[in-house]
Amino acid sequence: MRSFIILLSIVAAVHGWVQQPSGSTSFTQYSGCGSPACGISASGYTAAINQLAFGSSPGLGAGDACGRCFQLTGTADPYSPSFTGPFKSIVVKVTDMCPAAGNQQWCGQTSSNTLNSFGKEFHFDICEDTGGAGAFFPSGHTALTGTFTEASLRRCGREASVVETKEALYESLHTTTEFLKAALEENESNVVLVHCFQGVSRSATVVCAYLISNVVSPNNGFRKQLYLYAMRLRDNALLSSTVDAEAMEENTKVVDGTQRTPVSLGISSEYP
């Protein structure tokens, strides 16, 4: 048996993005958040994240961190070590990038030197305009260190912001699909591990591309149901309560243009 490992190196590995759901970080604040690098604005508190964690470079559009929510907690002031608080926690949505150029002290982390001047792998620049900075920083303190933990989308907005990244993963899907086919067809006992930095986005996309190439093809009705299920899994708050309520009231489900009972979910030989 041969084992294969695909480490996705499209843009992420080339630049060595460092993205984690929790960790130690530093915090500052900035204003003029009206044109964020993610290309979208958001309600609630927002922040920029250091370039290495953002997942893109200046001028290349949105990175993987766009739309992700994090709970930020301050624990110390690097300029006033004797200050013991009180410190606060807020939940922010990442909508912008803190570029390394011009911000070396805070956001200058690189793949070869992952720490900034304060020994932190990550940095959040909290937007003043959306109120986050005022809610987070103690009076008279404009820079802190502390921790971050990824939070659910419902904690920083009722709806998820959909951001289209400009990463050219699409251009490589044919190559990865053909590689998977060849590796699996070579020997029935072969195993392929497809993995990226977090194992939830790029790798899943590559596997899905392989599956839909010539293995599976759900009909339109099932695709709609998969979409609803995906929204429920991502965050229960994203699934509109009216969708289920109306379906229950009518006791019907529309699948491929035909009303079906919720029990059947359109699973019938009538549908290819």
The amino acid at residue 255 is V
Confidence of residue 35 (pLDDT cuts 50, 70, 90): confident
Which residue's entry shows tokens 């290309």?
39
The count of residues in the chain is: 272
pLDDT at 82: 94
pLDDT band at 200 (very low <50, low <70, confident <90, very high): low
| Annotated domain spans of the chain | 22-150, 166-234
- Model confidence at 260, pLDDT cuts 50, 70, 90, reads very low
Predicted confidence at residue 126, as pLDDT, reads: 96
Report the mean per-residue pLDDT for the chain: 75
Question: Do residues 233 and 227 make contact, with C-beta atoms less than 8 angstroms apart?
Answer: no
| Cβ(75)–Cβ(129) below 8 Å | no
- Token pair, residue 251, equals 């006791």
Higher pLDDT, 186 or 108: 108
* Fold (CATH) for 22-150: Barwin-like endoglucanases (2.40.40)
List, for residues 3-24, the tens digit of each pLDDT value: 555 544 333 333 456 677 889 9
Judge whether residue 245 has pLDDT over 50: no
Angle subtended at Cα 171 by Cα 65 and Cα 221, rounded to the nearest 5 degrees: 75
| pTM, rounded to two decimals | 0.55
The answer to whether 9 touches 179, Cβ cutoff 8 Å, is: no
- 241 pLDDT band, cuts 50/70/90, is very low
Which pLDDT score, from 0 to 100, does residue 77 have? 95
Determine the Cα–Cα distance for residues 217 and 228; give it in Å rounded to an integer. 17
Q: What is the pLDDT of residues 96-150, one digit of tens each?
A: 999 999 999 999 988 888 899 999 999 999 999 989 999 999 999 999 999 999 8
- How far apart, in whole angstroms, are the C-alpha atoms of residue 272 and residue 264? 15
Return the higher-pLDDT residue of 217 and 71: 71
Please give the Cα distance from 2 to 184 (Å, whole number): 9
